[in-house]
Amino acid sequence: MNSLIIIKIGGNVIDNPDVLKQFLTAFRGIPGHKILIHGGGKIATQVAEKLSIPTTMVEGRRITDQPMLDVVTMVYGGLVNKQIVAQLQAIGVDAIGLTGADANTVRSRKRAVGAIDYGFVGDIEEVNSGQIQYFIRQNLVPVFAPLTYERSGNLLNTNADTMASAIAVDTAIRNEVTLVYCFEKKGVLSDPENDDSVISALTPETYADYKNKGVINKGMIPKLDNAFRALEKGVKKVIICHANQVAEAVSGSGVGTVLQSTV
């Protein structure tokens, strides 16, 4: 099987042009087939504010009503995605910007209204990995914005971490997939106060142990649960690292936190 590297970057990379440029240069240096998935960043909030579109938060979560969906479609699908693609092209990476609607790559379902109506938020139903595989075979580098769509034709705001893991799981049928979550720390920390206390490797057993001891903090748990599920479903390796160490992390030089399945 061919190896495929899937990398997710978040707001901390996107919001700073210099950091983004540095990341994209490192990304170029990673050999072989690869996919980039970007989150939203602060620009959507800034644009919404300038457009006087109120941000509605319920229980700490942002609600995507129709005006906010238009903003994220503009900012994630347009501004952020196309700027990344154009910058990658400029350094010789043949990138293609996609939302889940493009070539029907990721279809989702509008989240059911329960206690909270999240609005136009999508839960992924189907990844068209055959189509994604065609792009990869053409030596194109897909760059996904965190937007999917539902059968009725609505675009849907979609969590970028979840989108990355769904794409990783589905492409793992045909590839040996490494999924990399870049974030603002050097990896999963054993001491939240010490940025150098990176846990170099996690298995389901050691993860359970760290959780029981309260070492791994609350915010990391959904990300890690998600990552271990991806491993169970066929993804070969998950790495959690700082964006500026992505090339070293992928090359296996021991930076970041490497998650491995015991299966």
Least Å from the CB of residue 255 to a copy of itself: 28
Q: Tell me the DSSP string of 100-135.
A: TTGGG-EEEEEPP-SSS--BSBEEEEEE-HHHHHHH
Least Å from the CB of residue 30 to a copy of itself: 19
| First vs last C-alpha separation in the chain | 19
Cβ nearer to a copy of itself, comparing 20 with 189: 20
Is 40 a known ligand-binding residue?
yes
Least Å from the CB of residue 157 to a copy of itself: 12
Least Å from the CB of residue 2 to a copy of itself: 19
Cβ nearer to a copy of itself, comparing 56 with 138: 138
Least Å from the CB of residue 228 to a copy of itself: 32
Cβ nearer to a copy of itself, comparing 30 with 98: 98
Is 157 a known ligand-binding residue?
yes
Tokens standing for 61? 């979560």
Cβ nearer to a copy of itself, comparing 80 with 250: 80
Cβ nearer to a copy of itself, comparing 152 with 194: 152
Tokens standing for 62? 């942002």
Residues forming contacts to a copy of itself in the complex (CB under 8 A) are 47, 50-52, 70, 73-79, 81-83, 85-87, 89-91, 94-99, 101-104, 134, 138, 140, 147, 149, 151-155
Is 104 a known ligand-binding residue?
no
252: left (phi over 0), alpha (psi -120 to 50) or beta: left
Name the amino acid, one letter, at 28: R
Closest CA to 242 of 181, 162, 194: 181
What are 210-215's contacts with CB under 8 Å, separation 24+? 215/190, 215/191
Cβ nearer to a copy of itself, comparing 76 with 183: 76
Whole-number Å distance between alpha carbons of 213 and 249:
27
H/E segment holding residue 90:
helix 81-90
The b/e string for 139-164 (b: 16+ C-beta within 10 A; e otherwise) is ebbbbbbbbbbbeeeebbbbbbbbbb
Is 62 a known ligand-binding residue?
yes
Q: Which residues line the annotated binding site for substrate?
A: 40-41, 62, 157
